[in-house]
Amino acid sequence: MSGPGEEFAARLAALREAIRGHDHRYYVLDDPEIPDHEYDGLVRELERIEAAHPDLITPDSPTQRVGAAPSESFGEAVHHIAMLSLANAFDEDEMRAFDRRIRERLDAPPADGCTLEYTGEVKIDGVAMSLVYEQGMLVRGATRGDGVRGEDVTANVRTIRAIPLKLIGPTVPARIEIRGEIFMTRSGFERMNEAQRERGEPTYVNPRNAASGALRQLDPKVTASRPLSMSCYGSGLVSEDAVLPHRHSDLLEVMAGWGLPVSPHIRVLTDVDACLAYHADIGRRRDSLGHDIDGVVFKLNDLRAREIVGQVSRAPRWAIAYKFPAEEALTRVVGIDVQVGRTGALTPVARLDPVFVGGVTVTNATLHNQDEIDRKDVRVGDTVWVRRAGDVIPEVIRVVPERRPEGSQPFTLPECCPACGSEAVRSEGEVAMRCTGGLVCPAQRKQAIRHFASRRALDIEGLGEKLVDQLVERGMVATVADVFRLEVADLAGLDRMAEKSAQNLGDGIERARRTTLDRLLYALGIRDVGEATAAALATHFGSLEALRDADEDALVEVADVGPVVAASILRFFADARNIEVVDALAGALSWEETAPVAAGEPAPSPLAGKTFVLTGTLAAMPREDMKRRLQALGAKVTGSVSKRTDYMVAGANPGSKLDKAQALGIAVLDDRGLMALIEGVDGA
């Protein structure tokens, strides 16, 4: 017998399972398999059936994530096993001491079958979370609080789509507490702050505060609208029926199998040296992880060995957090200077009391532009938070208003260029104020020449910043073309310039005379023309002549060139002063030209959208040049191997990337294979 109710029940079950599966792929594995509109279709169908049959709604249905009404306050949640914190290590010695203590306590090598190995995990900078599942169903989410008593934030936690409302699989115990970190990705954080700003609502200083704020909203609808995620790193109280692995790494794998989000960066490490290498490796990749981490965590992998080692009052002895240098720090703004960039943009820069942040001492931080200064209201004398992540330019992220000295004044950019006195203007739709002095402005001239000589442009060895400043200040070089008129004898007369260095610089200039069209185009410093665009223009037009003659219609045919970039190129070649420089360069330099792509012919691009990773030393050309060539053909070139990589190109002495590519079964090409592929594409 099968009534209509049963029919709906079956469809409901199928829909829920499908949506759960897609949520898992999207939010946990980061690997969706259906387009958004198809997913939306499934959700709409589910909502429709549930609306018609409310009796068939179950609490674990994907529609029931945002259920509860706003509450007055959070209830208390008791942790039957305390949520501990971690001891810290800040250097190699402290890590080795940790390992020694463990070995002593375990009487290593352990005799009773315990293995002494560690797991390495990233220490996500977020909010600690305890999730309780009963019969597989999520019944409680609680913050850490003081370790024993936290806040019951179940209604909010249910809205986080990385967290399954139901665990799946035969090994799920009757009751299990899962522990992990709730966090916000950097991109999610930026998007959310942008939305807050647009609505005129307060923004958050960093993803950690934003995650904590989102979790503590009394209205779960608000939490649902914030991009929260979770990474699980262990268990708490578990019911007696549970049959779970004895190794932490295996347990995490089992948890992932139940549908829980587990970090992909966990590794099993066999000794302290491997731990140090892991710390260094994650440190290098810290900026590309997509979320903030403040260190890595090492834990004894054998759960029975953990019992032997034990804990002190607040922290286990079997684990340690090996911290990275903080990326944010407090300091004081002692002044605000205005710098003039290559294209005349005036950039306000905060001069700071020196502060150690991101592993280096920082004395300057960018304030970006007037809008940013206004938004943050940064003034001289203010105490501010400064952030320096990786190689990114340090920036002031927030003022501490309570510490503002009396009588301070808002800062406004000057109306004249501080370098040449020309008027500074802000064009419509632009955030930057720009000096209108053009090449009259010595600051712009210096920047233009520095850029021209830089490694990815003409790569003139020996022509550094200080030297450019001198050459411009002494009137020896006014435009980039003048560089090629310099004589070794002139150079030898400069400050701190020994004969040998003058000769080396002369040689460097000579070597730079042979170049490529894409490097030259990039070196010219045309506004909006970066390396990839320069490469695309060079490939498309083949010669400087053809590019100079191109009108807007011809320009926008090039991949990635839109009306804005086209306008910048046209403006550049319409300026007689630029033409003079370009003509002089054409006389001083040589590069190869090729036939242009015929008008109307679609760009040949079987490589378009393909992702390449280059490693090792390529024989055909430097990696940078190869990168640009591939980009010009529409390919993407990234720094790390993932399952989305299409080709790995390995030159001599490849690194560990090659092993990873092979492990992932990615096509590996050598130089010749790559050239064959390219030639097959552009017929070069």
- Closest CB to ligand IVH among 299 and 657? 299
Stretch that binds ligand IVH, among 95-103, 116-124, 354-362, 416-424 (CB under 6 A): 116-124
Nearest-approach distance from CB 121 to ligand IVH, in angstroms: 4
Binding of ligand IVH at residue 121 (CB under 6 A)? yes
Binding of ligand IVH at residue 177 (CB under 6 A)? no
Nearest-approach distance from CB 651 to ligand IVH, in angstroms: 36
Record the tokens describing residue 5, joined without a space: 């109710």
Nearest-approach distance from CB 230 to ligand IVH, in angstroms: 11
Contact 458, 520 (CB under 8 A): yes
Nearest-approach distance from CB 299 to ligand IVH, in angstroms: 7
The CA-to-CA distance between both ends of the chain, in Å, stands at 71
Supply the DSSP symbol for 663. H
Given the residues 123, 166, 376, 446, select the one marked as catalytic.
123
What residues are paired with 123 via a beta bridge?
295
Binding of ligand IVH at residue 182 (CB under 6 A)? no
- Closest CB to ligand IVH among 88 and 454? 88
Rounded Cα–Cα distance for residues 258 and 16 (Å): 16
Rg for the chain, CA atoms, rounded: 30
Binding of ligand IVH at residue 467 (CB under 6 A)? no
Binding of ligand IVH at residue 282 (CB under 6 A)? no
- Closest CB to ligand IVH among 256 and 603? 256
3 state SS for 222-275: HHHCCCEEEEEEEEEEECCCCCCCCEHHHHHHHHHHCCCCECCCCEEECCHHHH
Binding of ligand IVH at residue 468 (CB under 6 A)? no
Binding of ligand IVH at residue 462 (CB under 6 A)? no
Q: Between 142 and 161, how does the x/- string for binding to ligand IVH read (CB under 6 A)?
A: --x-----------------
Q: Phi-psi region for residue 665, left (φ > 0), alpha (ψ -120 to 50) or beta?
A: left
**179 three-state secondary structure:** strand
| Binding test (CB under 6 A) with ligand IVH, winner from 319, 420, 502, 641 | 319
Q: Between 59 and 98, how does the x/- string for binding to ligand IVH read (CB under 6 A)?
A: -------------------------xxx------------
Question: How is the chain split among helix, strand and coil, in percent rounded to 5?
Answer: 40, 20, 40
Rounded Cα–Cα distance for residues 33 and 26 (Å): 8
Stretch that binds ligand IVH, among 108-116, 121-129, 206-214, 248-256 (CB under 6 A): 121-129
Could you give the C-alpha distances from 534 to 66, 391, 444, in angstroms and in order?
49, 24, 21
- Closest CB to ligand IVH among 128 and 463? 128
Rounded Cα–Cα distance for residues 127 and 180 (Å): 8
| Binding test (CB under 6 A) with ligand IVH, winner from 123, 166, 323, 388 | 123
Nearest-approach distance from CB 239 to ligand IVH, in angstroms: 20
Q: Between 535 and 574, how does the x/- string for binding to ligand IVH read (CB under 6 A)?
A: ----------------------------------------
- Closest CB to ligand IVH among 291 and 657? 291
Q: Residue with the closest Cβ to ligand IVH?
A: 128
**One-letter amino acid for residue 222 of the chain:** V
- Closest CB to ligand IVH among 84 and 420? 84
| Binding test (CB under 6 A) with ligand IVH, winner from 181, 302, 328, 482 | 181
Record the tokens describing residue 664, joined without a space: 């992932």
Contact 265, 284 (CB under 8 A): no
The DSSP code sequence of 427-457 is -TT-SS-EES-GGGSHHHHHHHHHHHHSTTT
Selection from 614, 598, 601, 593 nearest residue 668 by Cα: 614
| Binding test (CB under 6 A) with ligand IVH, winner from 27, 133, 233, 647 | 233
Give how far the C-alpha of residue 141 lies from the chain's centroid of Cα atoms, to the nearest Å.
29
Contact 98, 309 (CB under 8 A): no
Active site residue 166: no
Residues forming the active site: 123
**Binding-site ranges for ligand IVH (CB under 6 A):** 84-86, 121, 123-124, 128, 144, 181, 233-234, 297, 316, 319, 321
